[in-house]
Structure 1
């Protein structure tokens, strides 16, 4: 019986090995080699073992680390906002009746269900100063809002990230709240605790593990952000440069400049940074009281 149950995990592990483990192994292998062309770049290409040279070059690449710092600074501000809004929405849903909460759950989750590329294209249209409705709307109040400018591009991307991610995070936290016995809250009310006190002192600590989980997932996704700025680049290439984010820099080295080995090394470095950041955050915050 146990073997039959375990057999249901085979498709997952096959997919994990094929689409996760295998690319990591290939990237590690390719990062140890360097491809060179003779005759001013027009001759036959040769591949030679270079050891850790690509990694040394990556650690000395100022543009790559500048893009890393740019995304890290964005994550420092964007992730707490997304987590706070997700938590507040989950607490509000938990405070109302099941029937009323059911009416709001699906609409709040719809943005997450929309394919990412479609969502980005929709928001690019909304941000457009020529055909989008947002620029005239703010102009009506005397506010000049250029969503593609250097001062607002990260706000535009952050708004898109929050719009598409809050619903999913809210659902995780709301599910955790629903699993808490209602008697705990009833006892607190009998003792005279207000709803705000119950939310802050009881509900939030009880769903801390879920908050840590979605925050780790958001950290991983934010540090690897690619499609959002890549499509924004089509509208404002002078603001969103080709190495605007680490993934965009890796994409440029691999597919625009043809240095796949160096791009593989940068991918490994980025994976290490993401793993370390996620592990440190998980270690510092995963101390739930229950």
Structure 2
């Protein structure tokens, strides 16, 4: 595991009126690792992620990117420095083909006057998409059909690929294997491993504890709005993770 912390949250507090969603939560993501962020519903995982990617603004605390304090006003601003997110609802366009989904919001235009008139360079987008899917080990039944007609695993793989292709530093993955079968789940996990091996920090948010232990290098646990434990996945057990989530076990080495 690399030692370069790419993205860090330090003592994040977040209030929604009288509700304190985060109570001094901390978290770190390191280049070339998969770090899982786990916790029961209401632990603050989603809120912490939103604060780190600019979708929410913390009430107090610091966000650091590559060692310097930063302030992301929006997820778009975070994307400009190489931070991407795969949301649980996928946010794909089911009527578009895989290549169009890969370039959603980043479409390539044809050169010259045709591009100025808004015509897309579909051939170049398709060529790049085929190359990127092959790099990530993603096999699709067809590049010519709407993504809505593909299997759940293939749709998920395209959603993951879209973020991964544009992420140069960090990619957040929120329940990336939810509702997938065993074979489809393993395909997505293989993509996650490939991304990690390219030196990108992968943050996995999941309720699937066996999956967390199978794919993660490190695990950070939130409970009641604070980080309560950190583990090396190779040294942790399912009982360790559940115990930390429920408060039966404390294993915090750097709150």
TM score, norm. by length of structure 1: 0.22
Whichever structure has more strand as a proportion of its residues is 2
